[in-house]
Structure 1
Amino acid sequence: MTQIKICGLMREQDTQVINEAKPDFAGFVFAKSRRQLSLATALHFRELIDPTIPTAGVFVDEPLENMLHIFNSGAISIVQLHGHESEATVQTLKDAGATVFQVFKPNAPITPTAADYVMLDSGNGSGITLDWSRVPQASHPFILAGGLTPANVAEAINVVHPDVVDVSSGVETDGQKDPAKIRAIVKTAHATH
């Protein structure tokens, strides 16, 4: 079974389909984006989401104290770093008890990191698909993101063999999360080894 994260929840009804579809992770975007949430909204969503589904916060070059504040609030248990964060930042977050996802861009080397997972992403919820044949091997648990949809996720898993797939725009219709697409991609990911 391949694990899956549904990222970029924006509406209360998104939490309902998360509870129904049971992805392995759910994600809140705190970085500047059309999917950006306030901490108050993230805390509300966290209360609505099944407590067995861990939530991740997406950050881009956010000050460490802000990330620690959001982590310590209980809104998230995972910090997903999309910027130019240092290894010292990764270690401080881990020392505070956070699980850390460190994101790398295509064609950038996957450098040694203390992060719990490394993620390869074509670009922050852009929906651009990676060239799966060129994905580097990572020694860490590996997350594949970028342009994944219910239609292509099985192929992506079979080519890359990631531990986790991460999807945001690929389960949206007209810019909002689509319950049918979420159900379909979670089912497919969980059925694909």
Structure 2
Amino acid sequence: MTRVKICGVTSAEDREAVVAAGADAVGVIHGVPVETPREVDEGTAERLVGGVPPFVTSVLVTMPATVQEAVRRVDAVEPDTVQVHEGLSPTELGALRRRIAQQVVAVVDAAADDLGAYAAQADALLVDSVDESGAGGTGETHDWERTRDLVASLDVPVVLAGGLTPENVAEAVETVRPFAVDVASGVEERGGVKNHDAVSRFVANAAGGAA
């Protein structure tokens, strides 16, 4: 069964809707050097993560410049998992894994050539369509056939992101067969605010694609 992460949760109301829809993971964005309506401050990130119930994974999504910065954010927010975007090399990701108890998900560009190096140092890879700053959440899809080949060739779980919506997630799951799918803007009514009906349909349709 393909797992589902709903990312960019900014309020307790949206967090509860994501959990009620049956999502496996709740993503909270904090500590990114790019403009996004989905980022929250440290205190809000800590409260949102702290309210995620047992058996649902809380994920801190961040873009640290150094290993120490990543460790400090993880220690402050205390998520179950940390998702690292642009900023750390594969070697630095390995150092981060050794310093924290949480699992580390490395975000990589679908078109990158060094995915194997990141896979060797991370607990999972999230394959996204990233912009020039290295941030995801672009709302753009990428080559699903290429990502399907990655799923078959890599030894770590692969999470599919980039341009997913309730309308295309079943096809994406059927094509790629990823460990999980990740969505942010594709289930929003406006930046940083989730459409609860879209969240429910996304979760249901992802399960349908994995059937």
Give the TM-score of the pair, scaled to structure 2.
0.85
Size of the alignment, in residue pairs?
193
Distance (Å, rounded) in 2 between the aligned partners of 1:55 and 1:47: 8
Name the counterpart of 2:141: 129
User: Residue 27 of structure 1: SS of its match in structure 2?
Assistant: strand
1:25 and 2:38 matched: no
Structure 1 stretch displaced more, 174-183 or 91-100: 91-100
Distance (Å, rounded) in 1 between the aligned partners of 2:90 and 2:146: 25
Contact map agreement 2:62 2:82 (CA 8 A) in 1: yes
Q: Name the amino acid aligned to 1:132.
A: W
1:60 and 2:63 matched: yes
User: Residue 170 of structure 1: SS of its match in structure 2?
Assistant: helix
Name the counterpart of 1:106: 110
Name the counterpart of 1:43: 46
Q: Name the amino acid aligned to 1:56.
A: V
Identical pairs, percent: 31
Map Cα deviations across residues 19-38 of structure 1 (whole Å, 9 max, x no partner).
Answer: 21121111111213221111
Name the counterpart of 2:133: none
Runs of 4 or more consecutive aligned structure 1 residues displaced over 6 Å after TM superposition: none
Name the counterpart of 1:186: 203
Contact map agreement 1:101 1:119 (CA 8 A) in 2: yes
Map Cα deviations across residues 66-113 of structure 1 (whole Å, 9 max, x no partner).
Answer: 221222235312111211412332223222212111111122121232
Name the counterpart of 2:178: 162
User: Residue 150 of structure 2: SS of its match in structure 1?
Assistant: coil
Name the counterpart of 1:94: 97
Name the counterpart of 1:172: 188
Q: Name the amino acid aligned to 2:107.
A: V
Structure 2 stretches lacking a partner, 5+ long: 131-135
Distance (Å, rounded) in 2 between the aligned partners of 1:75 and 1:26: 13
Contact map agreement 1:39 1:75 (CA 8 A) in 2: no
Distance (Å, rounded) in 2 between the aligned partners of 1:19 and 1:120: 23
Contact map agreement 2:67 2:88 (CA 8 A) in 1: no
Change in Cα spacing, 1:81 to 1:189, as seen in structure 2 (3 Å) is same
Once the two structures are TM-superposed, the CA of residue 46 in structure 1 deviates from its matched residue by: 1.9
Q: Name the amino acid aligned to 2:140.
A: I
Distance (Å, rounded) in 2 between the aligned partners of 1:26 and 1:117: 16
Structure 1 stretch displaced more, 95-104 or 163-172: 95-104
Give the TM-score of the pair, scaled to structure 1.
0.92
Cα RMSD (Å) of the superposition? 1.6
Distance (Å, rounded) in 2 between the aligned partners of 1:84 and 1:15: 27
